Copies of this chain bind each other. A is one copy, B any other.
Amino acid sequence: MTPPKRASGPGGDRPLRADALRNRARVLEAAEAVFAAHGTSVSTEEVARRAGVGIGTVFRHFPTKEALLEAVFVTRLARLAAEADALMGAEDPGEAFFTFFARVVGHAATKNAFTAALAEAGVDVRATTAETGRELRRALGALLRRAQDAGAVRPDIGLPEVLALLVGASQAAEHVAGDDEVRARTLTVVFDGLRASPDHAG
């Protein structure tokens, strides 16, 4: 499924050496863990330490810190898009939609600084992020349409609203990270709002 990574640049590049490939994966994994735990402001040196490699190695694979952040974000967004696609096969469209929503929010609750990735996906800053963001929006849009057709989600909202609510709910979940009951009740409010028929509120 995944072709072997190649050195950056257009056209005919060589495949990466085995150790390089291994280190790249380690760095990415370490970066995700560190950024999640302490925010995106932690130093690149800390990421290198966590990955068990030198700083030079980190910067060779990701030429700037921003590129590293972007790579982490893209990884997460792609993972989410895949989850959404998987849920497209579910029998109950409404349940599929709300399950996905809850799962995204659940990730945000424990994994800090993830909201930024979601927000990024919505506004398309960088090129590669944009591509993966499109992928996620496509998948989420499909889930939403199916749920609306089944009458499980109000018909008067679109993808932008859902995306905004996703970002907001993730932030809210991060905010009440300690208390699972509060988080559940907060999510219930949003879900009830998403189900509400448009004529409900005079």
Chain B residues contacting A201 (CB-CB under 8 Å) are 188, 191-192, 195
Chain B residues contacting A154 (CB-CB under 8 Å) are 189
A binding-site residues for B, Cβ under 8 Å: 115, 119, 122-123, 154, 156-158, 160-161, 163-165, 167-173, 175-176, 179, 182-183, 185-186, 188-196, 200-201
Q: Please tell me how many copies of the chain the complex holds.
A: 2
The chain B residue sitting closest to A172, CB to CB, is: B168
- Contact residues of A: prevailing secondary structure: helix
In whole angstroms, how far apart are the Cα atoms of A59 and B189 in the complex? 44
In whole angstroms, how far apart are the Cα atoms of A192 and B161 in the complex? 14
A138 to chain B, nearest CB (A): 18
In whole angstroms, how far apart are the Cα atoms of A156 and B182 in the complex? 11
A158 to chain B, nearest CB (A): 8
Contact B189–A193 (Cβ < 8 Å): yes
